[in-house]
Amino acid sequence: MKTISKSRNNGIALPLALASVLLLLCIGVSLLELGVKNRVFVIRNTAEISARCAADSGLNKAIFEIRQKLQGNSWFGTEMPAESNIQLISCNAIFDYTTTLQPDGNYLIESTGKNGVNSRTVRCVLQRKVPFETAIFADGYITLKNSGKVGSYNGTATSNFMVGTNSTKNGSVALYSSSTIEGGVAVGPGGNPDDVIELKNGAEIEGDTMAMSQKNELALPEVPQWLISLPSSGTIKNDIIISESAKYSGIDLKSGNNIIVIDDVSLYIEGDLTLGNSSQIQIEDGASLTLYLDGDLIGKNSCEINNETEIPKNLQIYGMEDCTSLDLRNGSDCYAVIYAPNAEFILHNSVTIYGAIACDTFEIKNSGQIMYDASLQDETFDPVPTDFTVKNWNESIGQ
């Protein structure tokens, strides 16, 4: 009986051992297969990531090329930035990119990155940033007093224009005594419009209010080198007719005297520009004036800056780094674009400025008005350094 039991035990042990070996073999094969699949997955993902990185590199390179051209004050003409088969550093991936000028004036960049059979294509539309996208833009406060008004013309619906500030402080945009903004208001990033905007005594904002997604940096304007290099013609104090560009150490126009501009003229003023009582700068019909101010603008009672063309772009006033004050008591309406990033701008009299304004702080007194020329939304201005903003972005996958 004992011998038979031992024989049966030996017969069971062999199948058990064989089953164990098969089980271990299956586990080993499964682990091997899993490892191979994981390795293939990692290799494929690495190739896809490399292709995506290559596509992003092409996009960034195209944007860099465009900005370099802008900083060098040169543009591409009909030849847009494009390259092909550019090797990504320390990687097998390559990229191609092209740039296309669209009918609306924006630029479409398309960049494709490849690594083996994997490819990624990214596209973005660059919109050229213009300095007068808003009726008024201030880095700090904006104040409208005594029935002050901001409206628009040369556009469609009034709600299409904006007034903006980088400030997020409470009460930075203050409207008093029945003042009105017929468009919307944008406050600084992270700001609460309900706190930043203060409405008193029947004041009203007819458009939307919102916080910007990023700060609007007001770059300092640049005086053309050829204008800087001109010899100074001293200080203007009396009547003068100007028909060509010039540089002056200052303008101190005596009461009742006039400066008459009869051609397309650029003036660089190294000091202050002071307009005495009832004095006038007049831009005749068919002429234009681009004015660069290194000092302040002081306009005394009933002075006038009279742009007879009634086209704001024909009177451009740029405040340089040391221009910290624009104090205007104009005796009549004015058509102008005014860009002075470091200046406090105060409009005193009950007159209307047609155009647009960008400054450090802004205040309207005595029922003054700003009427925004909505056509300026599409205009670029050479003295203001230009940049691009990304209007939209998308990605597609190719195998």
**290 lies in the same domain as 157:** yes
Same domain, 251 and 194: yes
Cα 180–chain centre separation: 26
96 and 226 belong to one structural domain: no
Chain position carrying tokens 């306009």: 299
Considering the domain architecture, whether residues 188 and 333 belong to the same structural domain is answered as yes
User: CA dist 189 to 127, 208, 213, 383, Å?
Assistant: 20, 16, 5, 27
Tokens read off for 204: 């009203």
pLDDT class of 396 with cuts at 50, 70, 90: confident
CA–CA separation, 294 and 17 (whole Å): 96
Q: Is residue 331 a contact partner of residue 317, using CB atoms and an 8 Å limit?
A: no
pLDDT, tens digit (0-9, with 9 covering 90-100), for 230-259: 999 999 999 999 999 999 999 999 889 999
Q: Please, which pLDDT band fits residue 345 given cuts at 50, 70 and 90?
A: very high
pLDDT bucket at 308, cuts 50 / 70 / 90: very high
Same domain? 185 vs 276: yes
Low-confidence winner among 95-99, 162-166, 337-341 (lowest mean pLDDT): 95-99
Give the CA dihedral 357, 363, 369, 373, nearest 10 degrees.
10
**Distance of alpha carbon 107 from alpha carbon 101, whole angstroms:** 5
Q: Is the pLDDT of residue 18 over 90?
A: no
Q: Could you tell me if 250 and 361 lie in one domain?
A: yes
* Average pLDDT of span 64-72: 72
**Biggest alpha carbon–alpha carbon distance for the chain:** 140
- Same structural domain, 180 and 274: yes
Residue 386 C-alpha from the chain's centroid: 8
Please count the structural domains in the chain.
2
Ranking 36-40, 202-206, 246-250, 303-307 by mean pLDDT, the lowest is 36-40
116 and 156 in a single domain? The answer is no
Co-location of 104 and 156 in the same domain? no
> Amino acid letter at 71?
Q
CA-based nearest residue to 317, from 383, 387, 238: 383
Clarify whether residues 393 and 279 are in a common domain: no
**Which helix (DSSP H) or strand (DSSP E) does residue 51 occupy?**
helix 2-71
Torsion angles phi and psi, residue 301, rounded to 5: -55, 130
Question: 167, 195, 161: which is closest to 181 by C-alpha?
Answer: 161
Same domain assignment for residues 295 and 221: yes
Q: Are 111 and 94 in contact (CB under 8 A)?
A: no
**Exposed, middle or buried by CB within 10 Å (0-12, 13-18, 19+), for 391?**
middle
Element spanning 58, H or E: helix 2-71
Average pLDDT for 74-82: 67
What range does the domain containing 25 cover? 1-130+386-399
β-pairing verdict for 107-115 and 94-101: antiparallel
Residue 33 has pLDDT above 60, yes or no: yes
Say yes or no: 43 and 165 in one domain: no
Do 276 and 258 meet the contact criterion of CB atoms below 8 Å apart?
no
pLDDT value of position 1:
47
Residues in the chain: 399
Percent of the residues in the chain that have a pLDDT greater than 90, as a whole number: 50
Q: Is 42 helix (H, G, I), strand (E, B) or coil?
A: helix
Question: Given this model, what pLDDT does residue 307 score?
Answer: 96
281 CB-near residues (< 8 Å, 6+ apart): 253, 258, 259, 261, 275, 289, 304, 305, 306
Q: Report the range of poorest mean pLDDT among 33-47, 178-192, 269-283, 368-382.
A: 33-47
Integer Cα distance of 369 and 354 in angstroms = 8
Position 6 pLDDT exceeds 60: no
